[in-house]
Structure 1
Amino acid sequence: MTELPDRVVGDARTSDFGWTLLTDLTDIGNRMAGSTGERRGAERMVEAFESAGLRNAGLDAFEIPGWWRGDSELVVSGPVERRHGGSHETIALPGSPSGDVTAPIVDVGDGTEREFEAVGRRLDGAIAVASSRTPDGHSRWIHRMEKYVNAAERGAIGFVFRNHLEGALPPTGEIGYHERPGPIPAVGVSKEVGERLVRLATDADAGGGERPEVTIDVDCRNEPTTSVNAVADVGPDTDEAVWLTAHVDAHDISDGANDNGAGSALVAEVGRLLCSVEDDLDTRVHLVAFGSEEIGLWGASHAAETTPIDEIDCVINLDGACRSRNLRVGTNGFDRLRETFERVADEFATPLVTGDTITPHGDQWAFVQEGVPAVMASTTSEQSGRGWGHTHADTLDKLDPRDLREVATLVAATTFRLASDGVEIPHRSREAIRDAIDDGYVRELKTGGRWPYDE
């Protein structure tokens, strides 16, 4: 097995290149898909690619369904009255339609299938309140879109997504995807606001008293716009390539430090490190900072649709990869990729967590759905779920440059091995991927207009 030379490992663990780039990306601020900030982030990535010595650096534009936030409000009436109108109290979820609805609230807990079944017909004509948490021991992560879909399909006329982490931070996140706008208005609220809503509903159920009503008022725009991918190459000019990717866009309410400025910075840093061993690479490494991941993987889908599948050996996608220095790799069942990461982790005596569930969340899905071997690499932490991600608090101060350097070392070593050892990662058929997707994800993909398979 080819190992990354010690001099490159030393470079990775002393470099400020990635951290400087990450700092610049967070200082841009709003990098929402289709915004001027997203383009500025992509242009900064091209500058980084060029200064790192990569070739073919540039931008690739494509059309997307844009979304612009206005003001949103959540008003509680009944036994307790509250008005939550500030952006740190109530925020619309991207893809939500404009409009206002008023109805009693129904708590669906963590939004598992069992909890939705338990509330039954009570959701018809109500506003569903769901936690951002996935319960411990659940077989897979439950995405907000799945909870939103379940609520809408069961007759809810509004959706409230409450953070399960304290700190007065409402979470955001796409709910419309490729069928924008979604069918019902949707907002995010903090754990503190959400706990009050749930308490009031629970007290009414227990005592038979007045059930609180909630009014959701969402103002937003759904209009077409343009997004961009930032691309570059390193290594020999082969048709086939190992892809190293991340997304440069971030939700408009935050600086997008860990999600996913860190991933973009890592792509450029690993590209820089590989430049110093370019002559040892047998296969080209293609680097991409995708646009518009947060609203439906548009940049990744554009790249997958415009590249012959047989020219993509495999994809390493970095997303949320700086919460610690401990890697987690979602392998989507591609064992050879898992084994390569495991060998590198053993070589560096570092922890590694893997999972084999096929998930449609993350840019790797645009390739996995076609049978291309692809993983999502992130990092673990003691925080549950996204942690600070998708909130106002996803800022640079939460991250540590030492973690970024360690992850860059491990990803560079893995990419180097995949591109220089002649490791063959077999593709799978589209049918095999389709048949292995969890039923909950199937329903979510179909409702969101992202189901890629003919019936």
Structure 2
Amino acid sequence: MTALPHRVVGDARTSDFGWTLLTDLVDIGNRMAGSAGERRGAERVVEAYEDAGLRNAGLDEFEIPGWWRGDSAIELSGPVDRRHEGSHEVIALPGTPAGEVTAPLVDVGDGTDEAFEAAGDELDGAVAMASSRTPESHDRWIHRMEKYVNAAERGAVGFVFRNHLEGALPPTGEVGYHNRPGPIPAVGVSKEVGARFARLAAGDDPVEVGIEIDCRNEPTTSVNAVADVGPDTDEAVLLTAHVDAHDVSDGANDNGAGSALVAEVGRLLATVEDDLDTRVRLITFGSEEIGLWGAYHTAETTPHDEIACVINLDGACNSRNLRIGTNGFDGMAAPFEAVAEAFDAPIETGETISPHGDQWAFVQEGIPAVMASTAGAQSGRGWGHTHADTLDKLDPRDLREVATLVAAATYRFATPGDDAASGGAVEHRPRDEIRASIPDGYVRELKTGGRWPYE
């Protein structure tokens, strides 16, 4: 029997447990990796685990390279002189070095490889500006870090990341990863500021920009919030999310919602604990946003043969349309697809291997892992990584629906049968197969960010 009992579905559809936890997390405010707010968030998750009757609930601490934001500014000079220093206009990107730089501005549009190649030698000694957009024609999403790496490798001395969504304010996001600080100063600007810069850069008169960044890169500690449900087996299904969020944001969808979903699914599974054949390990990671440090800590301290698979939740509450990235692991999609069919729920699946999200720490080692999110109306991250990732953008009905689907899928993985739909076809892959499947752009990004694990 792999179908979640009807009484549990009814519980999921009427529960306020997850939404209450999400509300408490966003009310903490700043949950930046290594901050007091991140620890308070993890402690609140542990409290939720305990309230749900889960066992072994607690915190697991580890060291990280911390980053603290100061003031930032960007100044335009040329046909128009304009200075921007408000946080609604410009913010530093975590992992950037502190300092000042002034240089000609080169706009590389959406930051594709083709756009960088077309810019050629112009980028040497310049400030490169790239949009957060990925063209619809592109075969995969282009991450901010890849655009940053491309700029630095071509001799740029500064990087401007402009939002492609109007009204969403400046985007933030890590650029240093495990090689902090990154090689060149980097800031995010709003679409409105970036549009002015792009318009002037396209004119006949030369345009210069000055970037000023005050920040600190210093060691600190972070925590994972952990608990267990189900039988006391050595092997476990890992259900994960991350509790940290960027300091400019409440981190509602990215990823307070994921943390709330992990605790809610754990609560639901506790009501059918005796049905489970495999332990489910619940983990809300710290420090995802600055380099997946919490996930790497778990992957490095847990024997790989004790991890059956990983279901990672990130950005999973901006709709009820489930999106599953399987990272090329056959057998991981079928239980989700079966659940979606049973509940007549929409679902998208993709196979591309991506190093973005906590599941990557396990994928790189050949451990079956999916990224579970939801597909919203906006392209890219939507409100994520901006000041506007707030609770009012989300709907408790969406949270309940996603909790129902994820609980039903996790139940299948923890009670595997003989067929793929029941979670019985999940297999680890050789590490060298994963290495051979990684797109070249991601290889470049991982090497520059100090996260390349294969050499």
Give the TM-score of the pair, scaled to structure 1: 0.98
Partner of 1:440: 441
Please give the alpha-carbon distance, in whole angstroms, between the structure 1 residues aligned to 2:78 and 2:426.
60
Aligned partner of 2:326 in structure 1 is: 331
Q: Does residue 251 of the first structure (1) align with residue 246 of the second (2)? A: yes
Secondary structure of 1:375's partner? Answer: strand
Q: Does the alignment pair 1:289 with 2:284?
A: yes
Whether the 8 Å CA contact 2:330–2:425 is kept in 1: the answer is: no
Cα distance in 1 for residues equivalent to 2:249 and 2:199: 29
Aligned letter for 1:440?
A: G
Of 220, 223, 238 in structure 2, the residue corresponding to residue 225 of structure 1 is 220
Q: Percent identity, aligned pairs only?
A: 80
| Deviation, structure 1 residue 290 | 0.0
Runs ≥4 in structure 1, deviation > 3 angstroms?
none
Q: Deviation digits for residues 12-43 of structure 1, max 9, x if unmatched? A: 00000000000000000000000000000000
Cα distance between partner residues in 2 of 1:374 and 1:117 = 34
Match of 1:407 among 395, 402, 406: 402
In the TM superposition, what whole-angstrom CA distance separates every residue of 1:323-356 from its partner, at most 9, and x where no partner exists?
1001000000112011111111111111100110
1:15 and 1:377 map into 2 onto residues whose CA distance is 21
Letter in 1 for 2:131: S
Structure 1 pair 395/334, CA: closer, same or farther in 2 (3 Å)? same
The match for 2:428 is 427
Q: Secondary structure, in 3 states, of the residue corresponding to 1:169?
A: coil
SS at match of 2:178: helix
State the 1:421 CA deviation.
2.3
**Counterpart AA for 1:48:** A
Alignment of 1:22-171 (within 5 A): 22-167=22-167, 169-171=169-171
d(CA) in 2 for partners of 1:223, 1:136: 39
Does the residue aligned with 1:177 lie in a helix, a strand or coil?
coil
The residue that corresponds to 1:241 in the other structure is 236
TM-score normalised by length of structure 2? 0.98
Contact residue 334 and residue 374 of structure 1 kept, 8 A: yes
The answer for unaligned runs of 5 or more in structure 1 is: 205-209
Q: Alpha-carbon deviations, 1:259-303, whole Å to 9, x = none?
A: 000000000000000000000000000000000000000000000
Q: One-letter code of the match for 1:426? A: E
RMSD over aligned Cα atoms: 0.6
Query: Which whole-Å deviations, capped at 9, do the CAs of 1:181-200 have from their partners, x for residues lacking one?
Result: 00000000000000000000
SS of the counterpart of 1:336? coil
* Conserved 8 A contact 2:276-2:415: yes
Of residues 323, 343, 350, the one that matches 1:348 is 343
1:395 corresponds to which of 390, 396, 418: 390
2:168–2:388: 8 Å Cα contact kept in structure 1?
no
- Does the 8 Å CA contact 1:89/1:168 hold for their aligned counterparts? no
Higher mean displacement: 172-181 or 335-344? 335-344
Structure 2 CA distance, aligned partners of 1:335 and 1:425? Answer: 7
Query: Is it true that 1:450 corresponds to 2:445 in the alignment?
Result: no
Q: Distance in 2 between matches of 1:255 and 1:55?
A: 29
Taking the aligned partners of 1:23 and 1:82, their CA distance within structure 2 comes to: 39
Question: Partner residue of 1:211?
Answer: 206
Check whether the contact 2:229–2:266 (CA below 8 A) recurs between aligned residues: yes
Distance 1:417 1:339 in 2: 10
CA contact (8 A) 1:234 1:271 kept: yes
- How many pairs are equivalent? 449
SS at match of 2:202: helix
How far apart are 1:81 and its partner, in Å? 1.0
Q: Deviations over 1:59-90 (max 9, x none)?
A: 00000000000000000111101110011111
CA contact (8 A) 1:300 1:366 kept: yes
* Structure 1 position 299 matched with structure 2 position 317: no
Matches of 2:277 and 2:386 in 1, distance apart? 42
Kept in 2: contact 1:146–1:441 (CA 8 A): yes
SS of structure 2 residue aligned to 1:261: helix
What is the CA–CA distance in structure 2 between the aligned matches of 1:315 and 1:421, rounded to whole Å? 14
What are the ranges of 5 or more consecutive residues in structure 2 without an aligned counterpart? 418-423
1:98–1:185 Cα contact (<8 Å) kept: yes
Query: Partners in 1 of 2:428 and 2:168 — Cα distance?
Result: 45
Which amino acid in structure 1 is aligned with residue 49 of structure 2? F
Counterpart Cα distance in 1 of 2:33 and 2:2: 39
**Aligned mates of 2:82, 2:258 — CA distance in 1:** 39
1:438 corresponds to which letter in structure 2? Answer: P
Hey, what's the Cα distance between the residues in 1 that align with 2:264 and 2:427?
28
Distance 1:197 1:357 in 2: 34
Query: How far is 1:137 from its partner?
Result: 2.2
Per the alignment, residue 195 of structure 1 pairs with 195
Task: For 1:63 and 1:409, locate their aligned partners in 2 and report how far apart those are by CA, in whole Å.
Answer: 35
How many angstroms does 1:424 deviate by?
Answer: 4.1
Distance 2:134 2:336 in 1: 26
Counterparts of 1:119 and 1:66, CA distance in 2: 34
